[in-house]
Amino acid sequence: MDTLIQLLYAALSEEFQQFYQYFITKDILTGQQRHAVSESFTDFAVDELHDHAQKLIDRLIQLGEKLQPIQSPMSWPLLTKNSFKLLSPNCSVLDAILLNIETEEAAIKRYEEIITAAEALNDQTTAEVARQILLDEQEHKQELIDFRDDIDSLFKARVNSLELSKARKGTPEYNEWLRKYKEKRGAAQVEPLTLTEHDKQRVESLLSDVGTSRESRARKKFVRLAEVNPEKADIRFKEIKERLGEDHNFVKTLERISPEGVKSIDEARTKKKEAQDKAREEIFEAAKPALEAASKEIKKQFGGSISEDKFILRFEKLQSVLGQNPLLDQIRDIAKSKNFDLSKQVPVGLSWKQEAHTSMRVRQITNALKNSLKDITLPKEALSNAKSSQFIDFLKENSK
Ligand SMILES: [Fe+2]
Ligand SMILES: [Fe+2]
């Protein structure tokens, strides 16, 4: 196997392990800042697997590889000397951060190595892939370092405070410190989710992908995020919408993914449905005299002594002529009072006589409707708002 291919397999194996490292630790971190760190780990895990590993796989395949060396997870540690390090259960945030700074540094070295090797072979495509991933790894490392420094300064501040508290317990200074400490803790607990620096960076990087060949990958990343952390996805979605405007195609795509977006689509759908229902009620109200005339016919056709089979045939015929309509409810009620089962299968193969007779009976009902509709004007706006249906169309065609 040539060196470049070997390096790509080593990098791929490291990506899988790095993904796993973030993915498995993100939910078991303990200590301050664990929520923020866990969020970043989630994002990083998405990057490692869905972006970096995928890019490497794509490139290996383009280079004619069939991925055999990497097919078994057992082979992963054999492909690289940067072996996976296990964190102890309940690992502190700081432990996890320090370990991952190390592995990100190793990743940076790896991609620098790949860039050099690819350029030596004048393989610009592989070099470019490695450069793109390298940027992410540098971003990962920087973010981890920022976290480490934050935690460091928090820790130092706490040590100072603790010393203060030890020395002067019971003094006004101590009480003041305690009050401030409690205030801070209380505030931390109710802190609403807002757009953090980290989110801003992520939004920037996502926006820089929009309109480029990386857009679909950016979208996939967002899908992943929406699955693992819907609140985060919402916050970033709002920002993206603000930046691009709600009519932007990419915003519309994300809208179908982000829970916030889905909610607004659902709301719009519910609103539309409510408007349609209202419009239908309005139409039925206006068509009431016609419905009453038809209802009288229905009592005649279905109310008297009639066999169950004939009843069902007429019901089905009426339904096929008018579609779903309120008159059917009336027939269902009559069927109930007669103990007829409308879901029963009626023997097929009607004689022409039976067929004609059924049709005639049903026509008497529709004629009653039509005659009465001639004098009725249905509300125009409601007609355009109502969901179109066979019955609404029938009312429309036959009214004034
Ligand atoms: Fe990576
Ligand atoms: Fe990374």
For the chain, domain boundaries = 3-189, 197-257, 288-375
Residue at 192: amino acid letter? P
Q: In this structure, what token pair is assigned to residue 79?
A: 């492909």
Residue 165 pLDDT level (bands cut at 50, 70, 90): very low
**Long-range CB pairs of 124-128, under 8 A, 24+ apart, other chains included:** 125/59, 125/62, 126/4, 126/8, 126/59, 126/63
**Closest ligand relative to 12 C-alpha:** 1
Distance 221 CA to ligand 2 centre (A): 14
CATH, range 3-189: 1.20.1260.10
Residue-wise pLDDT tens digits, 270-322? 888 888 889 999 999 999 989 999 999 999 888 888 888 888 888 988 988 88
Which of 11-15, 71-75, 169-173 is the most confident on average?
A: 11-15
Residue-wise pLDDT tens digits, 21-42? 999 888 888 877 788 888 889 9
Q: CA–CA separation, 129 vs 371, rounded Å?
A: 74
Q: What angle in degrees, to the nearest 10, is found between the helix axes of 54-62 and 3-25?
A: 160
Contact 206, 218 (CB under 8 A): yes
Burial 238-264 (b: 16+ CB within 10 A, else e): ebbbeebeeeeebbebbbebbebbeee
How far the first Cα of the chain sits from its last, in Å, is 83
Lowest mean pLDDT of 10-14, 172-176, 358-362, name the range.
Answer: 172-176
Q: What angle in degrees, to the nearest 10, is found between the helix axes of 352-373 and 308-322?
A: 50
Residue 231 pLDDT level (bands cut at 50, 70, 90): confident
Distance 70 CA to ligand 2 centre (A): 19
Residue in this structure with the two tokens 């940067």, named with its chain if needed: 82
For the whole model, what pTM was predicted? 0.47
pLDDT of residue 167 exceeding 50, the answer is no
Distance 120 CA to ligand 1 centre (A): 23
Lowest mean pLDDT of 139-153, 189-203, 301-315, name the range.
Answer: 189-203
